[in-house]
Amino acid sequence: MKLYFCGRHVKKIIITIDGWSSCGKSTLAKQLAKELGYVYVDSGAMYRAITLYFLRNNIDLAERKEVKEALGSINLEFVFNPKSNNSEIYLNGENVEYLIRDLIIAERVSDVAAIKEVRELAVAQQQQMGKKKGIVMDGRDIGTVVFPKAEVKIFMTADNAVRVQRRFKELYEKNPNVTVEEVMNNLEMRDYIDSHREVSPLRKAKDAIELDNTNLTEKEQFNKALFWAKERIVTG
């Protein structure tokens, strides 16, 4: 079935948002999804939930057999919560959306996300979720590996100091013991591991639009991204 708006053909597309840690990818992705009536998927939440499982079960990341067996016991699911107006991640039936935002998880997640078998599991599920299009997904390899043919690809950047302040503010609200230094070290470490790993390293897809939001308000960046999306949604 073809959809039309003001006589023009409207199609469902895939929007990918990749970039460095704490650039505001999820904020933008959620806003776009809401505006367009699309599904939002936070791919990082999947790697974080797997990390939580590994930590709880003392999985040795160097033991690939142990890792593979553990992955076989993991079921991930996103369930929409109308109260938070967000799709929240469930690990084997338990809502872990808030637990996975902890610094303990952030300190380990990049090592877990660098494991080939972990990525294979996550990527297969992500591709399945995008089958019907009408989706906004954020992460590190979404425009390069998960949906290389996505209609709109955005690559987000921002100055380090700005990113550290943003993440610090977010974590401080939950845990006043957190320090700026801890947050800065964690961001630097994650960016390094995420962009230097062998499997699907973070990089800008050739056809991605770079969005540096150091000096942009949320509203300004949203308007830019919405414009790029609408250009591809409404054709003919």
Stretch that binds ligand DC, among 64-72, 89-97, 108-116, 213-221 (CB under 6 A): 108-116
| CA angle in degrees (0–180, nearest 5) for 24-30-34 | 150
44 part of the interface to ligand DC, by CB under 6 A = yes
Give, as one character, the DSSP assignment of residue 208: P
Indicate which single residue of 47, 53, 54, 168 sits in contact with ligand DC (rule: CB under 6 A).
47
Alpha-carbon span 144 to 148, nearest angstrom? 5
Alpha-carbon span 176 to 225, nearest angstrom? 34
Nearer to ligand DC, 130 or 139 (CB): 139
Nearer to ligand DC, 38 or 147 (CB): 147
Nearer to ligand DC, 97 or 194 (CB): 194
Indicate which single residue of 32, 48, 59, 168 sits in contact with ligand DC (rule: CB under 6 A).
48
Q: Which of 160, 71, 82 is nearest to 121 (CA)?
A: 71
Instruction: Say how many Å lie between the first and final Cα of the chain, rounded.
Output: 16
Token output for 173 = 């609200």
H-assigned helices in 93-217: 103-113, 116-129, 160-174, 180-196
Stretch that binds ligand DC, among 43-51, 57-65, 70-78, 153-161 (CB under 6 A): 43-51
In the complex, the smallest distance separating the C-beta of residue 107 from ligand DC, rounded to whole angstroms, is: 10
Alpha-carbon span 128 to 49, nearest angstrom? 18
Residues within window 185-204 making contact with ligand DC, judged by CB under 6 A: 190, 194
Residues within window 5-24 making contact with ligand DC, judged by CB under 6 A: 21
141 part of the interface to ligand DC, by CB under 6 A = yes
Nearer to ligand DC, 155 or 233 (CB): 155
Nearer to ligand DC, 189 or 216 (CB): 189
Residues within window 202-231 making contact with ligand DC, judged by CB under 6 A: none
Buried b (16+ CB within 10 A) or exposed e, 27-55: bbbbbbbeebebbbbbbbbbbbbbbbbbe
Which residues sit at the interface with ligand DC, rule CB under 6 A? 21, 43-44, 47-48, 109-110, 113, 139-142, 190, 194
